[in-house]
Structures are given as C-alpha cells and as structure tokens.
A and B are shown apart, each in its own frame.
Chain A
Amino acid sequence: MSSIRIFLIVVILSIMTLGVFISALHGYRSGILNAQKIFDSELADTAQLLSVVREAYHPGDTAALETTRYLFQIWQGGTLLLRSANAPAILIAPLKSGFHDRNFDNHRWRTYSLFDEITSHWVITAERLDIRNSLAENIVLDSVIPVVVLLPVLAVVIWIVVGRGLAPLERLANVLGHKRADDLSPISLKYQPVELKRLTISANDLLLRLKASFEREKQFTANAAHELRTPVSALKIHLHNLAQELPEGDDRLQALVMETDRMGHLIEQILALHRTTNDQFIANFTVLDLYTLVQDVIVGEYALLEEKNQQLEFRGVNRQLRGDQFALETLMQNLLGNAFKYTPEGGSILVTITGTGNALLLRVEDSGPGIPADEYERVFNRFQRVGGDRNASSVPGCGLGLSIVRQIVELHQAEITLGRSEELGGLSVSIVFSGGSVPESDEKNSA
C-alpha cells in the first residue's frame, strides 16, 4: 500500500461496512420475527374480541369491513353465522384452536381459530400475509436504512480524522523535504507524537553522524592542504636557489617554477574552499567597509597587475556591509586574479561599487576575451575551466576560483551574474548584496 491514509481508510471502512451489514441483516431477521409475533397476537386478540360479542346471529349475515387485510367468519356447528363481507362462504380454516396458514381468494392468509365454549361458536380471523409482510418489512427497514445511509458520512469523518492523525508525519516530511543539501543540523518539531519521536531521533542521529563524517573529510582535506604549504615553500626556495646558480638567461627551471606555483595555488584554493564551508561562518559576520576592503585587496594584488602592464580603475561609494572579512577578501582576490590572468598585456580592468537603496553592487569588468554565454553556468563548477583542461589562455589555474566565489556569494546571501562588459568588452562579474548593507553614502572618487 503506497499511502498510509488510503490504507487506513479502506481497511476501516471495509470493516465498518461489513459490521453494519451483518448487524443490519441480523436486525432485519429478528425485527421481522418480532413483528410476526406482534401481528399474530393482534390476530388472536381480534378473535377474542369477536367471540365475546355473543349475539344471536342470523345465518348468512355479512358485516362490511373497510379493510382488505383482515376478514373473519363465525361458525356454529356446520353453519356460517356471520362473515365479513370480504370473506368467502366456505370454511377457511380447520375448526381446531390455534394459527394456520391457508390459501384462498388467490392469497395466502394467516388464520386463527377460537372456540367459545359458552355459545359453542367458532370464531376464525384471518390476515393477508403479503400485506402483513410488507408492513413488517417497512417497520424493520425504517430502523436499518439510516445506518447504511450514514456510511458515506462516516467515511468522510474517518478521512478527516486519519488525516489529522497523520499530520505530524506530513510536517516531518516537509521539514526534511525543505532541508538544504548542506544543512545537516538536527530537526526539531514542536508537537511530536511518541511514534514519530523515534523516527526523528533516528533521523537526527543519522544527520549527526553524517555531519561528523563530512567534518572529518573537510578537516582532512584542510589539514592535508595546510601541511602541504611548508614543503611547497621549501620547494620554491630550493628552486630559487637553483635558479640563482644557473647562468643568466637559462630558463630550464621555468616549467618547474610554474608547476610549483600551480600546486601552491591549488593548495590555497582548496584551503579557501574549506574555510568558507564552516557552519559557524555566518555567526562570525561583522560590519565591514566594502570600499576599503576592495582597495586593500587591489593594493595586495597589484604586483600581478604591474607584471602585465594592465590599467586598473576603481570607482566606488563607501558603503558598509555585514559579512566575513576573510571570505570577502578571498572573493575579491579570486575575481581580480581571474581578471589579471585572462586580460592580455596592456588590457584594462574596472572595479565598481554602486549602491542603490538597500542593495550594494560589486562589479569587476575586464577587456579580456570573456566567457561564452552558454558556459556561464558551467564555470561555477569545481575544477571546471572554460574550454576544459586545454584552456586556450595557457594560463595556469585549477578551476576552483569561481566556485569559491559563488560559495562566498551564497554565504552572504548575495547574487552573482556573469555577463559581457559594456565598457571594456570582456567578462563582467556582478555581485549584488541585497540585505545587510548599511547605507552611508560618501562618494569616494579621488586619486
């Protein structure tokens, strides 16, 4: 059975219907039996009444009766003293005290014969059985039918009651269903029946174990990446020393240096990725000055820009924002890093912060080749680069940058969109921080 509700309703209704019909059948049978007894005693009483009249009858007299249901005869010896008008002139029942079933006048009759000792009259009363039976049936059915008619009403009531009984299950399903994939916090429901408590406890237990195992995995990756920093440092320094010993212009170490840098970059990105997946993350938000933060990151990353002789411009308003400083720095470093990497020698990069109402827009644009629109969604995937591993830019990278950016954006409940820069023609990355920005307009467009 795929639905508990339907199962319960079908089973309960079937049992109830069966019960109702059995009791109705029983009621019908005993009702009919009781009615027969009552009618019989009526018939006997009528005979009794007729016998006590004791009038001097003239043989062949008839008495008119307004009914077709009853008839009677009064006999003395072999003579019919009196009969009801609807009764035949022949003897309708044996002259023997008691009830008899007889056929005459094309009907079946119930008769009662009574002998009066004083007048030596035989009084015979008769009742048409078909009329009697239909009367009895009417009486019995009147009491049985309401029970049968009530069944659909009961079905509706049961439907509602079962629904209410199952409501906590529905709520639990909703809570579980609306959980985000990365939300492993325990479930808590206000009203919990005993039966569901066990389920909730087991589910929470599972969530906890899942969370612990995720944590272990995350911790392991973070620790491994962290531990790799020192050997990479040593590698870099040994390479530096080796390069010093080579004659000027010898670039045999170039590939080694590049690969070491690439490895170092990957380690940093993995660390950034794992640092920003912390549950405690949002709790540590502080009010930040986005303008200063962006400026600081530009200052920090400027050496890269200088290498390729690129022009950078920063236009912004001074607005405050609730967020995590380290994460937002990482975000900005990744966006600028991408812009530096993919913008050719002598190209331009534009960083803008604009505030409208409660929203804050951070945009990084460049004059590089951009990203084809159909790749916009894909580049956010981990280890995904435009054009795959054979990235046309021949720029080393690991494909984690934008997925880290998106992760940080989501943690700040912001929205990121990629597009084509109207001013510079390359990629334009826009991030809108909707809530949490603290208005304070102070146009800073100096220098």
Chain B
Amino acid sequence: MQILLVEDDISLAEGLLKALRRDGFTVNHVANGAAALHSLESDTPDIMALDLGLPDMDGLDVLRRVRIKHPDLPVLLLTARDTLEDKVSGLDRGADDYLVKPFEMPELLARLRVFERRISTSASSEIQVGDVCLDTAKHQVLVNGTLIDFSRREYMLLKALMENAGRIQTRASLESSLYSWGEEVASNAIEVHIHNLRKKLVPDFIKTVRGVGYTVKKT
C-alpha cells in the first residue's frame, strides 16, 4: 500500500513517516503542493494524505487539480482547520475523508484501513472482531471458527457494523447501506434483521445504544 504524504511541517511528517512505515505502508513524502502534483505525474500512489495548509498553494486547490487526472484516488485531508465550511468544502472538492489535527495515530491508521479495504488491495479481506470473522472476498462469516449462514441483508448489516467496529451506526445510516434509493423499507426492518443476527452470533456481540443505533465493540 503506497501513500503519498503531503505535509509541510517537517517534524510532523517525520513522525508520520516512521509510524506509517512501521505499520507496513510505503510512504513518499513531499512538503508542498507543486511537488505533490509533480510526484503524481510520474507515480500514482494508492492513497494520498493531504495537508490543507501548504506553503505554496491552498490544499483545496491541490485537491481540485488532483481530481482532474485522478478521479478515483482516495484522498484523506489532514488539517488544522475544522470549521463546518472547511469540512464541507473539503468533501465537496472530492476528498474521501477528513481528519482534524491534532489526531490520534490509531485514528489515522483506522481511516487508512477503511481506504485499504475499499480499494481491496488489502492482503487480507478478512475483518476479525472478537470471535466473529467476516471474509469480504468470499462473503462468508465464521463464528468461533464455524461457518454460519446469513441472508444477504443480514450479511451486509453485519459487514457495515464490523467495518466500523467501535463506532455507532445509526438506524438511518444502516438503512442507507442496506437499501437503495426508493426501495420500500419497513419501519422496523433494521430491528428485525438485528434480532435475527443476534440469534446466530455470540451474545452481546451487537450492542444497542438506545435512541442512537447499534455498535460492535472493537477488540
């Protein structure tokens, strides 16, 4: 997994390089927008981590120019700006995710893992949470090593929860990952699927946060 890191703060960049390399990423570092664009011409990375406050040009301009030639390149914005407008304009210009400084290293790694899975060049297509192992390539779920049969919707629901282990998924966000636009959704559809999933999984694997949604505890 090759990452292009665009960050003008040398100390921060050095720390990131070290941390990311330890976690098995190949990282190239440039310190300004022009160098980033130049580097993209010769070599396309798998993921780009872009700081918005660059010395030579605005990070959002870099993003706009990158998008012309590389519409599918996953871009993670790293920034000290955090107002709502900054977030919205960053995501509007085609950033895939947004991380506000100062961030936790595990948080950055988690976001990169999501990218990794999305572009499915990950060495492993398995997501392991506790005793449950979900294989996104084979569409299989193993509970305590035993293969369990799930319906398509149940599998998608479990995948959405496990991919975001440690985070709450609201009913609305689960509905949107299970059903396409315009599809009729019964008001208690998610509850019914969760109920069925629980019967097949280890007890308390899926936790309810009343009034908010469901979560799978990260281990």
Contacts and interface: CB of A to CB of B under 8 A. Distances in A.
Interface in B120-151: none
B209 A302 contact: yes
A322 interface: no
Interface in B3-47: 9, 11-12, 15-16, 18-19, 22
Given A298-B209, A351-B211, A447-B191, A303 B166 contact: yes
A244 B106 CA distance: 12
Interface string A267-307: 10001000100000000000000000001001100110010
B211 to A, nearest CB: 3
B10 to A, nearest CB: 9
Interface stretch (A119-127, A224-232, A339-347, A358-366): A224-232
A314 B18 contact: no
A399 interface: no
A230 B84 contact: no
A447 B208 contact: yes
B12 A234 contact: yes
Contacts of A45: none
A356 interface: no
A299 B167 contact: yes
Given A236-B105, A313-B211, A299 B84 contact: no
A202 interface: no
A236 B102 CA distance: 8
A229 B168 contact: no
A447 B166 contact: no
A446 B188 CA distance: 8
B113 interface: no
B171 interface: yes
Contact of A237 (B19, B168, B214): B19
B170 interface: yes
B12 A445 contact: no
A236 B15 CA distance: 9
Contacts of B208: 447
Given A232-B102, A299-B167, A241 B15 contact: yes
B83 interface: yes
Contact of B105 (A237, A316, A445): A237
A298 B171 CA distance: 13
A143 interface: no
Contact of A312 (B16, B187, B190, B212): B212
Contact of A233 (B18, B101, B166, B170): B101
Contacts of A238: 11, 15
B192 interface: no
B16 A237 contact: yes
Nearest to A446: B171
Interface in B202-219: 208-215, 217-218
A425 interface: no
A264 B191 CA distance: 39
A382 interface: no
Nearest to A225: B80
A326 B84 contact: yes
Interface string A425-441: 00000000000000000
A226 B86 CA distance: 14
Nearest to A314: B211
B22 A229 contact: no
Interface in B52-67: 53
B103 interface: yes
A275 B209 contact: no
A32 B84 CA distance: 94
Contacts of B211: 295, 313-316, 351, 444-447
A102 to B, nearest CB: 112
Nearest to B78: A233
Contacts of B191: 446-447
A275 B210 contact: no
Q: Which of A234, A264, A302 has the most chain B CB within a 10 Å cutoff? A: A234
Q: Which of B169, B171, B214 has the most chain A CB within a 10 Å cutoff? A: B171
B184 interface: no
Contact of B102 (A233, A325, A326): A233
B183 interface: no
A240 interface: yes
Given A316-B211, A447-B211, A230 B12 contact: yes
A234 B209 contact: no
15 contacts: A229-B101, A230-B12, A230-B101, A231-B11, A236-B102, A237-B19, A240-B15, A298-B168, A298-B209, A302-B215, A313-B209, A445-B211, A447-B190, A447-B211, A447-B213
Interface of A: 226-227, 229-238, 240-241, 244, 264, 267, 271, 275, 295, 298-299, 302-303, 306, 312-316, 325-326, 351, 444-447
5 nearest CB pairs, A to B: A314-B211, A237-B15, A233-B102, A234-B12, A240-B105
